[in-house]
Structure formats: structure tokens, C-alpha cells
A = this chain, B = another copy of it.
Amino acid sequence: MTIDDLIARATLEEVVLRYCTAVDKLADVDDLVSLFTDDAVLDLTGLLLPRYTGHAAIRAFFTQVFADMSHHMHILSNLRVDSRTDESARVLAYVTGMGRSRAGIDIQVYVYYDLTLRKVAGDWKIASFYEAPKLPMPESVGAVHNKSA
């Protein structure tokens, strides 16, 4: 473990935390989308939802999510840098994803993130985003998000 490792880890963690903050804000979808590379893949098939490619598709998905939800809280933990070069890194983490829909449905999911981040013009961006349940999913997730998909 070197100082370089520490700085890299903190820099990568900051991007993932910014994602959580942006998705929990339920506003400013542009800020959220700017965390992804132009060609990013947001793969939600692990949650039985679609796979979205590129800013326009990712923006459309989150625009709908922001319209559906009144509260969001994504608790990040157990973040590990699985591998990295100067230009790319694979980051794994656990997330407890919680929220309430405007229809009054409470959601709580226990998932892991499997992310590839890539350096673009000096900034780390999310190039590929995969998540899947770490614990069995409750029924309520499909009730909220499949409707919006």
C-alpha cells in the first residue's frame, strides 16, 4: 500500500460518493449524468431492469426516477479498488439503497456495485455501472421502477 494507492482510492471513492449524492438529490439530472462517460453503460439487468447506453438513455432513466421518488438515500460501504491502471479502475462496493416513491411505496435494497471508471480529460468518470442484489430483493422495487422503465 503506497501513497499513490491511497490517493487513487480516495479519488475513486469520491466519484462514487458524488454519484450517491447526485442520485439522492433527486434534482439536477445533468449533474448526475456528467459523472458518466459519454459512452457509459448503466446495466441494471441484475435488478431485472434494462441496460442503458450513453448520456441520453441514462438521462431519460434518471429523469423518470427523479419524477417517481420523493426520497432517496444510498449508503455506500465496503468500497474496494479491485484493480487499476492510470486510466482505468474497477471498483466494487456495497450499497444500501433506500427511498420512498411519490406513491408512498418504501424501498430498501441491499446491492453491490461493480463499476469501471475511466479517466477522461483528467477526470475519473463512470464508464460502466453494474449493480445486482447482495440479499434477496423485496417485491416493492419492481412495483416502483419497472413501471417507470
A residues within 8 Å of B by Cβ? 1-3, 5-7, 9-11, 14, 17, 20-21, 24, 71, 73-78, 80, 94, 96, 98-100, 110, 134-136
For A75, the chain B residues whose CB sits under 8 A away are: 77-78, 94, 96
Copies per assembly: 3
Q: How far is the CB of A26 from chain B (nearest CB, A)?
A: 11
Inter-subunit contact A73/B110 (CB<8 Å): yes
Name the residue of chain B whose CB is nearest to the CB of A74.
B78
Inter-subunit contact B6/A7 (CB<8 Å): yes
Sample (9) of A-B pairs whose CB atoms are under 8 Å apart: A14-B80, A17-B78, A21-B78, A71-B135, A71-B136, A73-B134, A73-B135, A74-B78, A76-B78
Please report the C-alpha to C-alpha distance between residue A75 and residue B75 in the assembled complex, in whole angstroms.
10
Inter-subunit contact A134/B78 (CB<8 Å): no
Please report the C-alpha to C-alpha distance between residue A135 and residue B134 in the assembled complex, in whole angstroms.
22
